[in-house]
Amino acid sequence: MDQEPVPQTTRGTGASAAVKLLTWQLACLTSADKKYRTADGLEFQRVWIQGYITSINPGGNTFEITDETGPPLTVYCKISAGERVTGEYVLVIGKLGLRRSSKKDDSNRSYEADAGTGAGKRRKDWQLAAQKVKPFADGARRASLWCQEVEFLHQIIYPQVVQQAIAGCRDDMMRV
């Protein structure tokens, strides 16, 4: 059976476009050559995540956010952590990084099970190098809309983008 060609780029999305994700979706990503791929095959380098700040590291420029769909995500940023407030709802755009951590954290046990890791295995621990952090005053309203928006994008829009990129790859291959 012939396999579909995997698009090297997603045409029309722009090289710097950020893919919107919920934190639970991080467990489903694959990575290669500093690029990430969603379960639907959409390649990207930057992500857009929104959520509430759950903790701030006062000694550095890091904080954790959650959209309450998965484990908190550690965010590294150039701005002072003092400019952020615990409980604040923020938009964060930046580049993902992957580091490995042991499975010792009991608070994330259910998320690890969802990610398919077994006893004694290590889970993916994502971090985000923020390029933009924007606070929103109306966090509760935005939080409910955010989940709906991202689910719509991943069910309807992103699969169409991938199919268009595959068709473009086929057209390029036919011209050769």
Does 128 fall in a domain? yes
Does 60 fall in a domain? yes
Does 122 fall in a domain? yes
Phi, psi of 79 (to 5 degrees): -75, 155
pLDDT band at 163 (very low <50, low <70, confident <90, very high): confident
Does 64 fall in a domain? yes
Mean pLDDT for 137-147 is 88
Higher pLDDT, 170 or 86: 86
Does 91 fall in a domain? yes
Mean pLDDT for 144-173 is 80
Asked whether the predicted pLDDT for residue 13 surpasses 50, the reply is: no
pTM of the model: 0.72
CATH at residue 82: 2.40.50.140
Residue 36: which domain range? 18-175
H/E stretch holding 112: helix 109-114
pLDDT band at 92 (very low <50, low <70, confident <90, very high): very high
The residue assigned the tokens 């701030």 is 56
Does 70 fall in a domain? yes
Asked whether the predicted pLDDT for residue 14 surpasses 50, the reply is: no
Exposed, middle or buried, 86 (CB in 10 Å: 0-12/13-18/19+)?
A: exposed
Count of the separate structural domains present in the chain: 1
pLDDT band at 27 (very low <50, low <70, confident <90, very high): confident
Question: CA angle, corner 15, sides to 160 and 157, nearest 5?
Answer: 15
Q: Which two tokens stand for residue 173?
A: 């291959």
Does 134 fall in a domain? yes
pLDDT band at 37 (very low <50, low <70, confident <90, very high): confident
Q: Among residues 31, 50, 126, which one has the least CA distance to residue 89?
A: 50
Does 29 fall in a domain? yes
Q: What is the pLDDT of residues 39-50, one digit of tens each?
A: 878 888 899 999
